[in-house]
A and B are shown apart, each in its own frame.
Chain A
């Protein structure tokens, strides 16, 4: 029976497993390049999960912004800075122990929240009314109700540009800069200094030609 086959469930669990596995690999990989690539995989998997929850616009944005821009930035930095593989020694194993302890503790706390909600089940494919896509819905409220945060977000991105430029602008590089305003504003007296002095007669001794034998 093809109809009984739980396609949605299988797809869901496949992507969920992929997401968790790649997230683990991000923190356990021994080289940052591997971590970055596993993070890309994690973003892809969670984009798939979001799309299953009808956040298709956000899922695509996640791929475009994160995989397309943020992770590229990460890879640039990882490639610029020489990095070596992390050795597995006692301290690393110790920290892995601490880390897993925190992980278990955190999940124990979360179990307390999630357990009472176990009975809540939702349909993954109850599509919205035809004609209204997720992008339209988000766009409509973004430009009306949420115009204030939208403006702040605009300024945030501007601040990020300014901050990144002012931090990475190299002023110590030896290069020739043409300061146009200085060139235009220059006056003759800045360039040429006319010093008034009395005419001097050339002294006999100093101007004597050097004798070559």
Chain B
């Protein structure tokens, strides 16, 4: 049968891909938001796996809330992105340098 560690490997690989994606992609803010979705997907997979293994409902409830929050967060993030695009005409990360960070 399938071991818990298989699921943990999948979720940690997803998390690592999400972080790597935030580093690799310097061109497009939309892809940055997608990487955040990948991170949350990895967290959710972790919770579902632990919840199933521990036979404990709390983890699944947390997943439910994370899904709700992530949807809300994405809506706000994309709204800010649209404002940025209207004002600047670009959504490249490298061009967010008017505020010199």
Partner of B14, one of A8, A12, A20, A164: A20
Within 44-77 of B, Cβ neighbours of A (below 8 Å) are at: 44-45, 48-49, 51-53, 57, 60-61, 63-65, 67-76
A16 pairs with B6, CB closer than 8 A? yes
* B8 surroundings in chain A (CB, below 8 A): 110, 113-114, 117
A5-49 near B? 1/0 per residue, CB < 8 Å: 000110010001001100110111000100110010011001001
A156 B68 Cβ-Cβ under 8 A: yes
Q: Which of B4, B20, B49, B67 contacts A27 (CB 8 A)?
A: B20
Contact of B10 among A49, A123, A167 (CB under 8 A): A49
Secondary structure class of chain B's binding surface, majority of residues: helix
Q: How would residues 70 to 86 of chain B score, 1 for a CB under 8 Å from any chain A CB and 0 otherwise?
A: 11111110111111010
Question: Which residues of chain A have C-beta atoms less than 8 A from B6's C-beta?
Answer: 12, 16
B1: contacting residue among A8, A113, A160, CB under 8 A: A8
The interface residues of chain B lying within 8 Å CB-to-CB of A113 are 8
What CA separation (Å) do A156 and B65 show in the bound complex?
Answer: 10
Q: Distance in Å from the Cβ of A207 to the closest Cβ of chain B?
A: 56
The residue on A at minimum CB distance from B4 is: A120
Q: CA A35 – CA B24 in complex, angstroms?
A: 13
Question: Is A27's CB under 8 angstroms from B25's CB?
Answer: yes
Alpha-carbon separation in the docked complex, A140 to B52 (Å): 17
Q: How many residues of B contact A (CB 8 A)?
A: 65
Check if A121 sits within 8 Å of B14, measured CB to CB.
no
Contact pick for A23, options B2, B17, B31, B78, CB 8 Å: B17
Which of A71-79, A177-185, A194-202 binds B?
A71-79
Contact with B along A45-84 (1 / 0, CB 8 A): 0100110011100100110011001100110011011010
Q: Nearest CB to that of B59 among chain A residues?
A: A55
Interface status of A186 (Cβ within 8 A of chain B): no
Interface residues of B (CB under 8 A from A): 1-10, 12-21, 23-28, 30-31, 33-35, 37-38, 41, 44-45, 48-49, 51-53, 57, 60-61, 63-65, 67-76, 78-83, 85, 91
Nearest 8 Cβ contacts at the A-B interface: A27-B21, A160-B72, A99-B20, A110-B12, A167-B79, A99-B24, A106-B16, A53-B52
22 A-B residue pairings within 8 Å (CB atoms): A20-B10, A20-B17, A24-B17, A46-B44, A49-B45, A50-B48, A53-B49, A58-B44, A62-B44, A73-B75, A77-B81, A78-B30, A86-B28, A103-B20, A106-B12, A115-B5, A138-B61, A141-B61, A142-B61, A163-B75, A168-B79, A168-B82
